[in-house]
Structure 1
Amino acid sequence: MHLVRRVRPQARTGKGDALNAAYDQLAEFLPADTNRSAVVVCVVDADGRLGPGALAAVSGAAGFADPEVGGVQVGVRMRNVGEERPLPDRGRVANALARLPVQVQDMEFAVSNAGMQLVRVRTGSVGLGGNGQFTRLSALDRIAATERRPWKRGALLEDYELGLHMILAGFRVTHLADTWVPQEGLPHLRRLLTQRTRWAQGNLQCVRYAPRIVSSRHYSGRGVWRRSTPSASRWLTW
């Protein structure tokens, strides 16, 4: 296990910067003769835990056993969906109200988001998420060679943007619904609204890639349509 520690002024400049720093350090940890196409990078949030069989599923026939696959996104569930007191310092009414958004988020990720991703599997336009994201190291290398770094600086949705670059670079991105990563659902409506506002703004930042997507030979017509309308679905389901 290697700890990559960042301190100010390098620290707290965005998740993309942190991931790029880890990517740079990874080259020092790996032997020089490493087959980088056989190395998989996994991103899991601090509150996330990989579900049972996740690694086997991701490395299996539907995942990185296919050499054309550069990225795999697994499902996401809310691990605190069954908590009776998501707000332990508050009363019964406040906790009853707090349970509802957590339950809605769990249904959202398990049903609507998973369904959207399965449709995108068929159109070749699967989106990567910030939690439960798996990428082939050689795919990150190819993106870094053209974009200077795998994750762009200052992107609010560095995960979604990475998925765009992955497909533009000629790799396939897929989604696995048979395994998942649990995370903590937000019981506070204000924090939930802040989260979704950031996602919507991040989608708008990705509009600048529309000309490249439309002209790319790696996107089908259906895939272009799916990528050209991400904001509403991201606001509702991701």
Structure 2
Amino acid sequence: MSDTTQFATFMLVLLVFWPSYNLVLALFVWWRPKPGGPEVPSRHPLQYWIIIPALNEERVVANTVRSALALDGARTPVQVVVVDDGSDDGTPHVLAEIDDHRLHVLRRNLPDARKGKGEALNHAFRYVRGIAEETGTVHRTVIGVIDGDGRGAPGMLSEITSYFGQRDVGAVQCRVRIHNRTNLLAFLQDLEFSCVVDASQSLRDVVGTVGLGGNGQFVRLATLMQLGDAPWSACLVEDLELGLRVHLTGQRIRYATHATITQQGLVDVNRLLRQRTRWGQGNLQCLGYVPKLLRAKHVGSVALLEFLQYLLTPWLVAPMTLLITALVGINFYAQFSGHSIGSLTVNSGNTLLALAIWLVALVLPGLIWGVVHRLKHGDEPMWRCLAVGLAYPAFLILGSISTLRALYRHVAGRKSWAKTERLVEKESPASKPVPRVA
């Protein structure tokens, strides 16, 4: 086989794989089996403790607390713990105005405060553990984590409870959506979370490799207690690491396809890059779990491959990005100039056809997910869904840039991060009555 033929074959594989992968993943959304499972009858309902880590969250925390308290019901009793992690804005004042016996505010002061989200969650975990041990409710207590800008959908705890009816389930991860998606960048994040990530997590639910997210994770207290006094680590993505640790205990993590947490999307490109760089760097920090997964006898081969895929991908993005960029550059240079590169000769008469093929391969996945968003949610007009689909390739480029930055920061040993500020919300942070769901 000539070099020209080999090159053409390789480029064709690249062209076909990306849209085909996205199409198969999108079709899986419609095929996937019904979520949930047989619920084991219990004389006592699960007790939910929802932890809200708060560092300078005055703009959003009141709405988040009210939303969390509103999840309380006869079969899903809720207590809310807000960890004020050394806020120096109006967060303490906003929390003090919420008069509800189900709200527990834990104030952390310097030098103990501001050591990362994991430390704040561990502080609340020990508080809840103490109460559960005193009341003898450890084995029916579930700890949920909702970020300062998170909003839980009404009735979501019913679906989560159905998963915990399966005794081998140690944790449940909710679906995430973006509630300020009037902005194009925020809408792209909603497309990512509510369609692409939703489909990926649903597939992992079948394989048994569901990952935990920072927002909307629910874990049995007994499971957390198996992981020691500090189940959440100082990792930059403490949720990913916690998920891996839960899997290594032999317990399952399920993905709730309807129970939804909404959060603010970032509307500034620089802040988005900073967020995704932190995520990528945290992923790299979790690479040390690969040997443990390889030794885990209960992790099957398919599950192992899936774990390795999302742990190793950040390390492969940099060389693959450079390789694909170089190959595409060589291809287009040959197309436009008609010159040969080595033994590679491309007919310049096929330039327009090649451009058309590359353009279709580039934009087709985004358009697929745009259509999925419209059919699945129906809360945005089709023209907006198609427009955001066309912008999806640029969003992926931002992801590649952030991954390269994460690799650089990881190698350089840089771990410090500044907290991203929240946007001002329309609702007033003044205290309002919180209804109890029957």
Please report the TM-score for the alignment, with normalisation by the length of structure 2: 0.47
TM alignment of 1:1-238, pairs within 5 A: 1-30=103-132, 32-60=134-162, 63-82=163-182, 99-144=183-228, 148-152=229-233, 154-231=234-311, 232=313
- Judged with a 3 Å threshold, the aligned counterparts in structure 2 of structure 1 residues 31 and 169 are, in CA distance, closer, same or farther, namely closer
For residue 283 of structure 2, give the secondary structure of its aligned residue in structure 1. helix
- Does the aligned pair in 1 maintain the 2:129–2:138 contact within 8 Å? no
Q: Which runs of 5+ in 1 are unaligned?
A: 83-98
What CA RMSD, in Å, does the superposition of the two structures yield over aligned residues? 1.5
Q: Quote how far apart the aligned CAs of 1:219 are.
A: 1.4
Q: Is the 8 A contact 2:129 2:221 kept in 1?
A: no
Bigger-Rg structure (1/2): 2
Q: For the residues of structure 2 that align with 1:31 and 1:159, how far apart are their CA atoms?
A: 25
> Is contact 1:167-1:218 (8 Å) kept?
no
Q: Larger % of helix: which?
A: 2
1:35, distance to aligned residue in structure 2 (A): 3.2
SS at 2:170 equivalent: strand
Compared CA separation, residues 217 and 33, structure 1 to 2 (3 A):
farther
Q: Which amino acid aligns with 1:149?
A: A
Q: Describe the SS at the equivalent of 1:149.
A: coil
- With normalisation by structure 1, the TM-score equals 0.86
Question: Match of 1:93?
Answer: none
What's the secondary structure of 1:40's corresponding residue? strand
SS in 2 for 1:72: strand
Q: Aligned residue for 2:19?
A: none
Provide Cα deviations, 1:69-108, integer angstroms capped at 9, x if missing partner.
10100100001113xxxxxxxxxxxxxxxx2111100000
Q: Is the 1:118–1:175 Cα contact (8 Å) retained in structure 2?
A: yes
The AA in structure 2 aligned to 1:69 is V
* Letter aligned with residue 107 of structure 1: L
SS where residue 159 of structure 1 aligns? helix
Instruction: Give structure 2 stretches of 5+ with no counterpart.
Output: 1-102, 315-398, 401-438
CA distance in 2, matches of 1:73, 1:25: 22
Higher relative contact order (CA 8 A, sep 6+): 1
How many residues are aligned here?
A: 213
